[in-house]
Structure 1
Amino acid sequence: MQRLIRHGLMFGNLFHVASPALAQRYNRALNHLTGKTTKLTDFHIDISGYSPEVGDELQDHLYLNHAGVNRQFILLSVEQRHCPLLNTKFSTSRGILRQFIDANEAQLFALTARDAVAGELVNSVYDISTPQRLFDIRRVEVEADTVGGTVRDAEKLGEMVARFKTEPDGWYDDVLIAQMIELAGKTGDVVRNPVRLRQMGFDQRNYWTAHFGGLYLFQDVEHPAVIAPAGAGHLGDLPIKYVFDGSQRNQIAKFFEYNDLVETIVEGRQDHAAAILKQKMDFILVDAVADQGVDLTGVTRADMRRLARRYHDMLPEEFHALGALVRWAENGGKWPRISSDHPAYFYTLRAADTKDAALVNMLLAELAPKDARQMFICHKELFYRTYAGWPEQKKAFVVDFLLAEYQVDKAGARETLFGHDAPMAEPVPRKPDPVPDMIARVGPWGAVRGR
């Protein structure tokens, strides 16, 4: 992991807490939220205020995310919006925090100039002891204020100002006037400069969670299902009819098709299809030969062709199928049929342009695990976990590739690979539905009970 950290591929782009004032504000917020404090005065935090160094010190890396649900956050600067989210438990959390910061940028800039802002991503579930509890999560609300309660006091002062202006005896109420003066000393002039954070809520129906081995819940699609790549045997009875594990490739392929969630790389990126497929083949080749003592330092395209010829007999089906697709894309000829039960099938797909594109690309990264680049971009939690078990030669090759081909132009790489910037898509804030959705849906595999 040190190689990843050294090159900024892990714990990169974190916000540096280096001044005594910032460290003191962080400590006040930490104590306010958790009752804990840190002795550190120099550390790094992610978009939520979580710090790996503080987690090590407290021996608790969920100190802001107890039980992995209702994540708390500490904001010291609006610049945290550019940071990653570490120890992700729900795929929607970073997007929600980013949108909250963007929507309240001016207010947060003013508030964090004097104090830390502390808050929580709140839903109605306080523990996820069973998989069934995941289906109780429908919306996430953002609650936030400074440690000193500036927003709360500003609202109270606003109410007092309204009373002062409207009540007949307001001008003569010495107690009210004294209270207004006291609060104004804390909040400033709320009439000219109102201190107010926009209240935001987000639907959470389609998402990935790290709980129970990693699950993908697709509830807000025409044909709902849960995908459990690591296996579904431990989940028990869920309040959804269709649950597929990673071995049920045909069913997952049909799920994608029926919900119009994917497209082939060839149809989606005709101008770059061959190059994308060749790079996928490179990762598959390296995966096959990395433990053969092959030196992969500085390999060129010609070197990769020589390795493919030398180790042709030990290369997996995925390599040969993608090679046939490359030949079709470059030279025409017979279309290679790659069915959903073929090991290469999910390597040929990318998410279609839908609101769930980021989630779909994340799932595809798990279904096509030899494509290290897509895994790094779309599913970093899985990438770091998988990376730890790779041979040293593969680790070095992947890191060098990411530095040369991805880090130098992240936006350009995502545009080439995914077309519509899918991995960076954010959840959309919505107002609560006036009436719960009680419409029973019918899926392609039979009637699905309404939820």
Structure 2
Amino acid sequence: MKRLIQRGLMFGNLIRVDSPALIERYNRALKGLAGKQTKLTEFHIDISGFSPEIGEEFKDPLYLNPNGCNRQFIILTVDQKTAPLLNAMFSTSRGILRQFIADNEAKLFALTAHDAVAGELMNSVFDVSDPARLFDIRKITIEADTTQSHVKNARELAEKIDHFQTAPNAWYDDDLIAEMIDLARETGDVTRVPVDLGVQEYEQGNFWTAHFGGLYIFRDVENPAVVVSGDKTRLAVPPPGKVLDTTDANRLAGFLSRNDLVGPVVQERGDGGAAILRQKMEFILVDAATSAGLDLGDMSSRTLRHVAQRMGAHLPDAFRGLAAMVRWAEAGGQWPRIDSRHPAYFYTLRARPDHPDRDLINRLLSELAPMDFRQLFICHKELFYAAYATWPDEKREFVAEFLHRDYMANKAGAREALFGGRKDPMKMPRITRGRTQEDMIEIVGPWGAVNRR
């Protein structure tokens, strides 16, 4: 994994914590949440405040996520909103945390100037040993406060101020005035700088979870189903409702089609999607060549074409299927017949750009087309890292260098060029709070506009 770390492809964008004051605040929050404290004098944290170094120190990668069900968090700075979420057990968790920080950025900025903010992503489920319990997770509630109860005190002070301003003869209540002065010393002027975070609620509709080896819960679609990573028979207690698995391509393709979740990468002749398919062909070729022990040379596109020529009849069917699609789009060849039985089928699809669960759908597609390592890295990092550890060394070098050179150098530009964006993202928030209709989270990949055929 050193190549990935050195190129910023793993543990990238984490927040460095090396200030004694910040470490002290972190330890106070950690003591309150987990009953532990770190002895490290330097570490890095993700958006939730989880530190891989502290996880190693405690020999517990879930020290802020007991049972992998209700994620706890520690916020030292609002800069954490740009950090990744490590060891994610639910696909919605980072979006909820990012939205929470964005919704309360001014308040959190004021609070973290003096203390750490600690909280929890709470739902009504505390144990997910039974897959059926996952269907009980509908709403995520966040309650947070500093270790010195600034939010609680600010709420109490606001109530006293209201009483002071409305109750008869409150102006003459010396005890009330003394209590307000004492609280104000802790909270500051809450009338000018409100710090009450309130209770935030977020809906969790369709989602992915790492539990039980990986499950995709699609319940807010016309034809609900659970998609199991691998063979569904490995579940001792299957979840309720229709159960599909990633080994049954035909039924899975029917599910995606019936719910109108996907569209083709290439829609018409001359479509720019052909360039995307060409790169997918290179990724498939690299996988096949390194598995066969062939030398990739300087790994340039020209060298890879020579590798394809040497492989000849041994080229994978997925490569040949995409090549036929590219010929149709660019050179006027015949329309290739590629159905769900063809190895290239899922490589030709992408999520509808206007679907509110676009990222979740593309996560599933990346698992169904795993040789497209770029999509796997963007949409399903957990699976990418697991797959990377099994690849031949030459493929690891190619993948690390490609992602560093062609993706990390300009992530926003690369995503826009590869995936496009929604026509009106403001109308399609992926995670919405229960209290307002104006919520909007960051829209991240993957696909451009696709017309229905």
Secondary structure class of the residue paired with 2:434: coil
**Percentage of pairs with the same residue:** 57
**Alignment root-mean-square deviation, CA:** 1.9
Which residue in 2 is equivalent to 1:52? 52
Distance 1:390 1:81, change over 3 A: same
Secondary structure class of the residue paired with 2:168: coil
Measured in 1, the distance between the counterparts of 2:259 and 2:80 equals 35
Which residue in 2 is equivalent to 1:104? 104
Which residue in 1 is equivalent to 2:214? 214
1:224-243, aligned counterparts within 5 Å?
224-236=224-236, 238=238, 240-243=240-243
For the 8 Å contact 1:272–1:416, the answer to whether it is kept is no
For the 8 Å contact 2:269–2:330, the answer to whether it is kept is no
Decide which of 427, 430, 434 is 1:427's aligned counterpart.
430
For the 8 Å contact 1:350–1:418, the answer to whether it is kept is no
Which residue in 1 is equivalent to 2:254? 254
For the 8 Å contact 1:34–1:64, the answer to whether it is kept is yes
Q: Which runs of 5+ in 1 are unaligned?
A: 434-451
Cα shift at 1:236: 5.0
Deviations 1:272-294 (A, max 9, x none): 22211111111111111113443
Measured in 1, the distance between the counterparts of 2:430 and 2:142 equals 13
Measured in 2, the distance between the counterparts of 1:220 and 1:432 equals 20
For the 8 Å contact 2:204–2:431, the answer to whether it is kept is no
Measured in 2, the distance between the counterparts of 1:300 and 1:194 equals 57
Cα shift at 1:268: 8.7
For the 8 Å contact 2:119–2:145, the answer to whether it is kept is yes
Measured in 1, the distance between the counterparts of 2:409 and 2:429 equals 23
Letter in 2 for 1:431: G
Measured in 1, the distance between the counterparts of 2:417 and 2:268 equals 10
Letter in 1 for 2:99: Q
Letter in 2 for 1:398: V
For the 8 Å contact 2:347–2:369, the answer to whether it is kept is yes
Which residue in 1 is equivalent to 2:21? 21
Q: Which runs of 5+ in 2 are unaligned?
A: 437-453
Distance 1:268 1:100, change over 3 A: farther
Which residue in 1 is equivalent to 2:167? 167
Cα shift at 1:387: 0.4
Deviations 1:26-50 (A, max 9, x none): 1111111111100112110000000
Measured in 2, the distance between the counterparts of 1:315 and 1:199 equals 56
Cα shift at 1:124: 0.3
TM-score, normalised to structure 1, is 0.92
TM-score, normalised to structure 2, is 0.92
Which residue in 2 is equivalent to 1:378? 379
Distance 1:74 1:268, change over 3 A: farther
1:331-370, aligned counterparts within 5 Å?
331-353=331-353, 354-370=355-371
Which residue in 2 is equivalent to 1:440? none
Secondary structure class of the residue paired with 1:244: strand
Cα shift at 1:378: 0.5
Which segment is superposed worse, 239-248 or 333-342?
A: 239-248
For the 8 Å contact 2:269–2:329, the answer to whether it is kept is no
For the 8 Å contact 2:202–2:431, the answer to whether it is kept is yes
Cα shift at 1:147: 1.0
Measured in 1, the distance between the counterparts of 2:268 and 2:219 equals 26
Measured in 2, the distance between the counterparts of 1:431 and 1:398 equals 41
Asked whether 1:398 is paired with 2:382, we answer no
Secondary structure class of the residue paired with 1:233: helix
